[in-house]
């Protein structure tokens, strides 16, 4: 599926909308994400904090897990939105999770609250992700 300007703008819009549902009472740093899979399905996520910080989940992983729960395994684009005036990138944990469900060429749309965005390939943000050999017979991929 080709990622058009219209699709990019829709993902940016949906990431910004997802950010509004963020639960960030400790950091006050709200993040939203919207991703598209190779069949055109879109899934959103927001960050959800916890008083035990290790239990917090980022918006990007939240969206990936939503897609996986629906059987979607091939992510082609992800938009990330926050309240910051500068472009933020996915954290290391999110990059690793994204790498699991893309071929490295996924487009990452970094956004600002005023709707500006820039595109970068996941392979540029995470050029050599750790990888394990997948077991034969795993029918969930």
Domains of the chain in start order, with CATH, are 5-125 (3.40.140.10)
Q: Which of 10, 60, 100, 107 is catalytic?
A: 60
Kindly compute the dihedral angle of the four CA atoms of residues 26, 27, 32, 33, in this order, to the nearest 10 degrees.
-110
Q: Using one digit for the tens of pLDDT, what is the confidence trace for 12-45?
A: 999 999 999 999 999 999 999 999 999 999 999 9
Report the C-alpha gap between 141 and 139 in whole angstroms: 6
How high is the pLDDT of residue 111?
97
| Res. 141: pLDDT tops 80 | no
Q: What is the pTM of this model?
A: 0.92
Q: Using one digit for the tens of pLDDT, what is the confidence trace for 54-113?
A: 999 999 999 999 999 999 999 999 999 999 999 999 999 999 999 999 988 899 999 999
Q: Is 10 a catalytic residue?
A: no
How high is the pLDDT of residue 131?
75
């Amino acid at each position: 599926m080709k990622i058009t300007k219209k699709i990019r703008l829709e993902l940016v819009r949906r990431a910004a909308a997802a950010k509004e549902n963020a639960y960030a009472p400790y950091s006050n740093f709200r993040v939203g994400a919207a991703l598209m899979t190779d069949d055109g399905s879109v899934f959103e996520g927001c960050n959800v904090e916890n008083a035990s910080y290790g239990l917090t989940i980022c918006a990007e992983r939240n969206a990936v897990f939503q897609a996986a729960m629906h059987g979607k395994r091939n992510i082609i684009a992800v938009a990330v939105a926050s309240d910051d005036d500068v472009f933020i990138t996915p954290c290391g944990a999110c990059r690793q999770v994204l790498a699991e469900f893309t071929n490295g060429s996924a487009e990452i749309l970094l956004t600002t609250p005023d709707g500006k965005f820039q595109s970068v390939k996941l392979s540029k943000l995470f050029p050599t992700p750790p990888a394990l050999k997948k077991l034969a017979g795993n029918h969930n991929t």
